[in-house]
Amino acid sequence: MCELELTNKKNKYPMKPIFVFTLICSAFLVYSFSIYLQPVASAKSELPGEGKMVWQKYNCQSCHQLFGLGGYLGPDLTNTYSEAGKGAVFIKAMIEVGTKQMPSFKMDETEMRALLAFLEAMDQTGKSDPRSFTIHANGMISQ
């Protein structure tokens, strides 16, 4: 009798847990692929995002900073786009010609436009001069 009860309990729901597990895994995979295969919605343009990839490709952060974060060999480029006497023409000239410390980069026109769009987008986020920040005793930082 004991063997019969175990067999009945064992065979009562033999496929249900496997079916539920398979169903959940399948739904997860379908949902995951549907998210990653959808095109990314952009606010205005995809150009600043492409510019960030150019920034990373040429390893600009190793020498330059954005919002005070990055290398210290070159200047902070957060607000260079809107500084007096600078802007897109100045930045483009610096990239193409280089300086004593900065090599010249041979970017194609698409990469240059994307990088300029990225720097313009960074400029529009606000002012960043870490030297003017005040660090308070509680660790808070203010401008």
The whole-number pLDDT of residue 4 equals 47
Does residue 76 share a domain with residue 14?
Answer: no
What percent of the chain stands above pLDDT 90? Answer: 36
The whole-chain average pLDDT of the chain stands at: 82
**How many structural domains does the chain have?**
2
Q: Does the residue 123 lie in any domain?
A: yes
Helix (H) or strand (E) holding 134: strand 134-135
Torsion over CA: 82, 126, 113, 93 (sign): positive
33 and 58 in a single domain? The answer is no
Do residues 87 and 122 share a domain?
yes
pLDDT at residue 116 is higher than 60: yes
pLDDT of residue 119: 93
Residue 98, in any domain of the structure: yes
Residue 129, C-beta contacts closer than 8 angstroms, at least 6 positions apart? 76, 79
Is the same domain home to 58 and 27?
no
Q: Quote the Cα angle for 62-48-50, to 5°.
A: 75
Specify if 117 maps to a domain. Answer: yes
Which residue did the predictor score with more confidence, 19 or 95? 95
At 12-49, the pLDDT tens digits run 555 678 888 899 999 999 998 888 777 655 445 688 88
Q: Are residues 82 and 101 in the same domain?
A: yes
User: Tens digit of pLDDT for each residue in 120-132?
Assistant: 999 888 776 666 7
Residues 93 and 122 in one domain: yes
CATH at residue 92: 1.10.760.10
Output the pTM of the full model: 0.60
Q: How confident is the model over 86-110, as a mean pLDDT?
A: 91
* 50 HSE (CA, 13 A, CB side): 13
Question: What whole-number distance in Å separates Cα of residue 11 and Cα of residue 138?
Answer: 65
117 with 51, same domain?
yes
State which residues form the domain around 22: 2-37
Choice between 96 and 143, residue whose per-residue pLDDT is larger:
96
